[in-house]
Chains A and B, each alone.
Chain A
Amino acid sequence: MRYTILLHYPEMTAEQMGEDAWAQGEREFAAYAATLQAAGALIGAEVLQPSSSTTTLRTVDGALQVQDGPFADTKDQLGGTFVVDVPDLDTAIELARRAPGVSWGAVEVRPGALYTVDGVWTPNA
C-alpha cells in the first residue's frame, strides 16, 4: 500500500534560518531518505523549491490564467513529498513520525488511490 508523506512548513531562507540550522536541516533530510531506503519503503521523494518560485494555472471565467505564486497563500507551504510503500497506516505513521520538519510544521500521511506503471494507472494495494 502506497502512502504519500507530505511535509508542510513555514518557508525560510538559509539567511533567515542561519547557516548551522540550514546545514542541520540538510543532514536530517539526507538521513531520512537513507532511513526510508534502508527500510525498503522508499518509492520516491522530492524536496520542493520555495513557493516564491512556483507558478499556478487556473481557469477564471473561462479563461486560463497563468500567475506567479502558490495555489493558496498560507503560512505553511508544501515543502516536500515522500512516497512510501508499506503494509498499513500504522507503519506509514511510524515513518512519518521521523520525518524532518515534524517539529516545525505539519506532516500529512495520505493513502494513494492509483499510481502509474509505464504511464498506465494501477490501483494502489
Chain B
Amino acid sequence: MSAARARAAAERAARDSYGRLVALLAAQSGDVALAQDALADAFEQALTRWPDDGVPRTPDAWLLTVARNRIRDVWRSAAHRRTAPLLDDTLADLPADDPLADVDPAAIPDRRLALLFVCAHPAIAPDVRTPLMLQTVLGLDSAQVATAFAVTPAAMQQRLVRAKRRIARARIPFVVPDRSAMAERLPPVLEAVYACAAVTWRQDAHDLAGEARHLAVVLAALLGDEPEAWALAALVTLSLARRQPPGVFVPLDEQDPATWDADLLTEGEALLRRAQRPGVPGRFRLEAAIQAVHADRRRTGRTDWAALRTLYTALDAAAPSLGGRVALAAVVGRVDGPDAGLAALPPEPSPAFQPWWAVRADLLARAGRGAQAAGAFRRAAELTDDEAVRAYLTARGAEGRGDG
C-alpha cells in the first residue's frame, strides 16, 4: 500500500469512527448539530487530557461518554430550557457517566444507517441531502463540501445549519424504515449517495471520489440485502477505477485500459455480483452492468456494443431519462451506424442538454457530415462547465471542419 493510500485509509478509519459517534449521539438526542458540537468538545478535551492521563484503552468509548455528558450539561442549562423545550427531565437529571469506565467499543451500536435515512428524509430539501451525508456521516468539513458543490462555504454552512435545525425541530426520527416503507424511502438515499459520486466525477472535485465510494460501500454493507445498494457501490467503484488524471479528457472507449485501477475494477465486479438477484434488475444494477461491460475491455480488448445496447434499452424501460436515451442513441450509432444513431436521438431538448449535443456531434462526425458536426461540437463545448471536456470538444470540432 502506498503512503498516500495508507494515509487515506487511516483518515477514513478516523472519519468512520466520527460518523458512528455522531450517528449514535444524534439518534439519542434527535439533534445532529448538538451531537456534532458535543463531539467536537469531547475531541478538544481529549487533546488536553490524553497527553497527561494517557490515551484511554477504548478512545471511541471515552469520546462517546464525554460527548454524552456534554449533551446532558446543555440540556440542564437554563438557556436550553428556554429555547428548546424538548427537555426530558429524567434524562437530564441522570448523573454523568464516568469516561474512564470501560465500555466495550464493539458494543457501540452503528446508527449510521438511520442517520443516512434522516439525511435523505422527504422533509429535507433534496439539494442539501448529499452535503448533509458528507458532513455528518463522513465528517468532512463544510468548506470541503462547499467546494464540491461549487457554493461559498458560508452558503453551504447556512444550508446545513437550517437542515439540522429542521431535523431537530420537526423531530425527524432516527430509524431505519421498515420493509413496508423501504421501497419509498430507499431511492432518495441511493440518489443522494449517487449524487455524491456524481459531483466527484467533475474534474475539480477529484479528491472526494474515494469518499463517495466509501459512502456507497458503507450504505450497501449496512443495508445488507438491498441489491440496488450493492449495485450502486459497484457503479461508483467501477467508475472510480477508470478515473483519468485531471486536465485531459479521454472518452471512455478510447481510454487505455492499462490506465485503469485493476484492484478497484476487481472490487467493483465483486460488488456487482452481490447485487445479482433473480428478476428484473433495477436502475443502478443496469448502470453498474454498463460500467462492467466497459471494464471488460481490459480482458477482451474490445467494447461489446451489442451488450451495451441491450443494457441501455433495459435502463430506458426501468428508469427512463434523457441522459439514458442519449447514451442509447450513441450506442445504436456504434452498432447500426451513425445514421441509425442520429435517428435514435430524441428531439432537441429544451433547455439545452450538453450530452445531447456532444453525442449528436460525434454521430454527425462519424457520418462524415463535418460542417454540421463542427457546429454541434461548438455548442456542446459551450454547454460544458468542465475545462478538459471543452478542450476535447473544441479540438474535435476543428478536426472535421471543411470536409462535409
Chain A residues packing against B (C-beta within 8 Å): 1, 87-91, 93, 111, 123-125
Closest Cβ of chain A: how far from B277's Cβ, in Å?
Answer: 28
| 27 cross-chain CB contacts under 8 A | A1-B171, A87-B171, A87-B173, A88-B171, A88-B172, A88-B173, A89-B121, A89-B123, A89-B170, A89-B171, A89-B172, A89-B173, A90-B172, A90-B173, A90-B175, A91-B173, A93-B122, A93-B123, A111-B169, A111-B170, A111-B171, A123-B85, A123-B86, A124-B85, A125-B85, A125-B86, A125-B87
Give the residues in chain B near A111, CB-CB below 8 Å. Answer: 169-171
Return B221 CB to nearest CB of chain A, in Å: 24
Residues of A within 8 A of B123 (CB): 89, 93
Chain B 50-90 interface 0/1 with A at a Cβ cutoff of 8 Å (1 = within): 00000000000000000000000000000000000111000
Residues of B within 8 A of A123 (CB): 85-86
- Considering the complex, which residues of chain B in the window 70-121 have a beta carbon less than 8 Å from any beta carbon of chain A? 85-87, 121
Q: Please give, as numbers and ranges, the residues of chain A lying within 8 Å of B175 by CB-CB distance.
A: 90
The chain B residues found within 8 Å of chain A, CB to CB, are 85-87, 121-123, 169-173, 175
Give the chain B neighbours of A87 by CB distance below 8 A. Answer: 171, 173
Q: A-B contact count, CB below 8 Å?
A: 27
- Report the separation of the CA atoms of residues A91 and B170 in the bound assembly, to the nearest whole angstrom: 11
* Chain B contact residues: helix, strand, loop or mixed: loop
Q: In the complex, A123 Cα to B122 Cα: how many Å?
A: 26
Q: How far is the CA of A18 from the CA of B172 in the complex (A)?
A: 40
Chain A residue at minimum C-beta to C-beta distance from B86: A125
Chain B nearest CB: distance from A25 CB in Å? 27
Q: Quote the shortest CB–CB distance from A6 to chain B (angstroms).
A: 14
For residue A111, give the distance in angstroms from its CB to the closest CB of chain B: 5
Bound together, the chains give a CA A1 to CA B171 distance in angstroms of 8
Residue on B with the closest CB to A124?
A: B85
When distances are taken between beta carbons in the complex, the residues of chain A under 8 Å from B170 are: 89, 111
Measured between beta carbons, the chain B residues less than 8 angstroms from A124 are 85
**What residues on A are CB-neighbors of B122 within 8 Å?**
93
CA distance A20 to B188 in the complex (A): 39
Q: Which of B121, B169, B171 has the most CB of A within 10 A?
A: B171
Task: Report how far A91 CA is from B181 CA in the complex, Å.
Answer: 12
- Return the chain A residue nearest B81 by Cβ: A123
> Separation in Å of the B205 CB from the closest CB of chain A?
32
The chain A residue sitting closest to B122, CB to CB, is: A93
Q: Please, which residues of chain A bring their CB within 8 A of the CB of B87? A: 125
**In the complex, what residue of chain B is closest to A110 when comparing beta carbons?**
B170
Given the complex, which residues of A lie within 8 Å of B121, measured CB to CB? Answer: 89
Q: Which residues of A contact B169 (CB under 8 A)?
A: 111
Cα distance, A88 to B169, chains bound together (Å): 10
A123 to B86, CA, bound (A): 8
A88 and B86 alpha carbons, distance in the complex (Å): 12
Bound Cα distance A46, B123 (Å): 25
**Residue numbers in A under 8 Å from B173 (CB-CB):** 87-91
Query: In the complex, which residues of chain B have a beta carbon less than 8 angstroms from the beta carbon of A93?
Result: 122-123
With CB as the reference atom, state the residue of chain B lying closest to A122: B85
Q: A87-B173, A91-B173 are in contact. List 12 more A-B contacts (CB 8 A).
A: A87-B171, A88-B171, A89-B123, A89-B170, A89-B171, A89-B172, A111-B169, A111-B171, A123-B86, A124-B85, A125-B86, A125-B87
CB B181 to nearest CB in A, in angstroms, measures 8
For B87, give the chain A residue with the smallest CB separation. Answer: A125
Which B residues lie within 8 Å of A125 (CB)?
85-87
For residue B86, which residues in chain A have a CB less than 8 angstroms away from its CB? 123, 125
Q: Which residue of A lies closest to B117 (CB)?
A: A90
Q: Considering the chains assembled together, what is the distance between the CA atoms of A93 and B172 in angstroms? A: 10
- Most A Cβ at <10 Å: residue of B123, B169, B170, B172: B170
Closest to B30 in A: A88
Within the assembled complex, what's the spacing in Å between the Cα atoms of A125 and B75? 14
How far apart sit A88 and B123, CA to CA, in the bound complex (Å)? 12
Using CB atoms, name the residue of chain A closest to B123.
Answer: A89
Q: Shortest Cβ distance from B156 into chain A, in angstroms? A: 24
- Rounded to whole Å, the gap between the CB of A122 and the closest CB of chain B is 8
From A87, which residue of chain B is reached at the shortest CB distance? B173
Give 6 nearest A-B pairs by CB, closest first: A123-B85, A88-B173, A88-B171, A89-B170, A111-B170, A89-B172
A119 → chain B, closest Cβ, in Å?
Answer: 18
Name the residue on A nearest B174 (C-beta). Answer: A88
The distance in angstroms between the C-alpha atoms of A89 and B169, with both chains bound, is 10
Chain B: minimal CB distance from A91 (Å): 8
Q: How far is B86's CA from A87's CA once the two chains are assembled, in angstroms?
A: 12
Q: How far is the CA of A90 from the CA of B87 in the complex (A)?
A: 20
Q: Which residue of A lies closest to B83 (CB)?
A: A123
| Complex CA distance for A95 and B173, rounded to whole angstroms | 15
Contacts of A90 in B (CB 8 A): 172-173, 175
By a CB distance below 8 angstroms, the chain B residues around A88 are 171-173
